[in-house]
Chain A
Amino acid sequence: MAGHDQLAHGQPVEARDDPPLTAELLCARYAPRVYRFAAMVAAGDVEAEDLAQDAMVRAIRNLGRFDASRGSVETWLWRIVVNAAIDAGRVSTRRRLLWERFRSQPTIGENVEDLALMRITATELLAAVRRLRPRERGTIALRFGAGLGFAEVGAACGTSPAAATMAIRRALKTLRILLKETR
């Protein structure tokens, strides 16, 4: 594809943002956040690097197809990243998708003080995130790893902002349960 040849050599691509996006600029702006997302979603550090690299390369190679009239660069990018995560997590039967319908969770107290978070290390917290189900991990990673708002999480997952909000809340509940078990 001629498009990504040009991109990789630093030639600008027409996009809504100013200055025009190049591969380098896309990396400078988004790669750290894509990696944060990947680090939460993936099972380990090697897989996280794999996923972040795969997602960014996909985005760079498709920059020429980006249509500013259909949405922002950020919305477009995070859909690519989520799709890369789905592909990475796809099981061999190819039947179960990562972004399946929300799982119902048992209700527990919301008081975060109960969690004694002061005693939980960052390593334990990341390990607990990685133990979540893919769907839960994904929403947590988009919200808190990539720093997206609820509407942006919804756009990336193909759901409404309200559904994304609910999904994030449920994921946080599950994470609290895991952290309680950790203590």
Chain B
Amino acid sequence: MSTNLEDRLADLDLRMPDTLVPRILAQAAQPGTRRIQPVRHRPRWVTVAMAVVLLVVVVSGASFFAPRFAQALADAPIVGTAVGPALRSVGLAGLQGRFTALDSRTTSSGYTVKLVAGYADNNQTVLVLKVEPPDHSFFAQPRLTDQFGRTIELRGGMSDQRTGDNVLLFNGVPWPDSFLGARLRLHATILEALPNGQPVSGDWTLEGTIPVESSRALPLPSAGNLGDSTFRFTQIEATSATVSIHMEISGPLAKQLDRVVGETIPEVAKPHPAFSYELIDAGGGAATAISGTASTGIGPAKFSATWVISHPGEYRLRIAYEGIGSFERTITVP
């Protein structure tokens, strides 16, 4: 092995996946489409069987509350490239092949909002919207409800003021949507303005039905200690696209999870959280974190985080607290 950095860089084994060139040629052969994404093809006999079962068991109105079955019949397309750039800009590229295309639009006060696509699992719901004209965003207190009228809390999102792409991240849909599918309704009365701009009032209501990616519980690793604090895993679950961990933290660090350390040095450094968490795949690449939330109060603090993963396998979970130490646990996603 060479000890020369430049030789080591040139010798890095970065082999192109065999499937890439066929995908490139296939996409280039399709004028007007930007990309072919992997689509979850359901065997035709499965769709037929589900349709037969539906015809037997369905009762009037049932599909409203159990949209997953209606979804199976509709065989709604999975979105690929339409949402790709928007998702990439918020680090959710790994999810883009799993989105369901939606086509709900509404116009009020001169602003058209379109619900383009959605993804949901037990831990998060992601909606992609387009606002036209793009100089306002959909962040001013939108309310998302499911078919039972329950509100799903907004966590955050991204607005691209050039294209009008908005990506909104909400909590996961509650039971029983998680196996019935979610019939979602998004409502807002204000569009948020760019800096120095004026908000726009109106009435925008959008609706869409999306299947909910099922998740499975994974074995819990042993607890870890950082100084005098204990980090105990309470739940770990995975879908085909995400891994979520839930922990309880007891000890002195439980009250200091939001502590910020470091100083501001222009162009060089800025303060950063002392508590950090990373999920690293077997190749050493860090998975993209969708969310990380901590709640403190009386008793242990609770912490949850979710990452997008691209493949099953072994992942290293690294928990660290600056100045105290770190520990790692292995999570195997089957």
Contacts and interface: CB of A to CB of B under 8 A. Distances in A.
A9 interface: yes
A52 interface: yes
Contact of B28 (A7, A129, A140): A7
A44 interface: yes
B14 A36 contact: yes
A92 B159 contact: yes
Interface in A4-57: 4-5, 7-9, 23-24, 27-28, 31-32, 35-36, 39-40, 43-47, 49-50, 52-54, 56-57
Given A24-B25, A88-B88, A122 B12 contact: yes
B251 interface: no
Contact of B288 (A5, A43, A50): A43
Given A103-B267, A113-B3, A125 B9 contact: yes
B28 A50 contact: no
B20 A45 contact: no
A183 interface: no
B284 interface: yes
Query: Which of A31, A45, A46 has its CB near the most chain B CB atoms (within 10 A)?
Result: A46
B24 interface: yes
Interface string B282-302: 011111100000000000000
Give the most central of A56, A61, A143, A145: most B CB within 10 Å.
Answer: A56
Given A44-B286, A103-B267, A92 B20 contact: no
B35 A144 contact: no
Nearest to B90: A92
Given A8-B28, A112-B3, A145 B283 contact: no
A57 B28 contact: yes
Contact of B285 (A49, A130, A145): A130
A117 interface: yes
Contact of A8 (B20, B29, B34): B29
Contact of B9 (A32, A52, A129): A129
A44 B89 CA distance: 14
A124 B85 CA distance: 28
B228 interface: no
B5 interface: yes
Interface residues of B, number: 47
Contacts of A69: none
B21 interface: yes
The number of chain A residues touching the other chain, given as a range, is 35 or more
B142 interface: no
Interface in B269-289: 283-288
Given A5-B31, A94-B161, A117-B8, A31 B3 contact: no
B267 A44 contact: no
A155 interface: no
Contacts of B107: none
A49 B13 CA distance: 15
B16 A52 contact: yes
B10 A144 contact: yes
A57 B4 contact: no
B3 A53 contact: no
A144 B284 contact: no
Given A52-B16, A52-B20, A92 B28 contact: no
A100 B194 CA distance: 25
A117 B285 contact: no
B240 interface: no
B133 to A, nearest CB: 15
Interface in B144-165: 158-162
A31 B288 contact: no
B216 interface: no
Contact of B27 (A57, A172, A175): A57
A86 interface: no
B93 interface: yes
25 contacts: A23-B25, A28-B21, A32-B15, A36-B14, A40-B14, A45-B283, A47-B88, A53-B24, A53-B35, A54-B35, A60-B25, A60-B28, A61-B28, A87-B85, A103-B267, A113-B3, A115-B3, A115-B5, A117-B2, A122-B12, A123-B283, A126-B284, A145-B9, A175-B5, A176-B5
Interface of A: 1, 4-5, 7-9, 23-24, 27-28, 31-32, 35-36, 39-40, 43-47, 49-50, 52-54, 56-57, 60-61, 87-88, 90-94, 103, 112-113, 115, 117-118, 120-127, 129-130, 140, 143-145, 147, 172, 175-176, 179
Of all A-B residue pairs in the complex, the 3 with the closest CB atoms, nearest first, are A8-B29, A123-B284, A144-B9
Given A45-B310, A112-B3, A115-B5, 6 more contacts: A4-B28, A4-B31, A8-B25, A44-B310, A61-B28, A124-B284
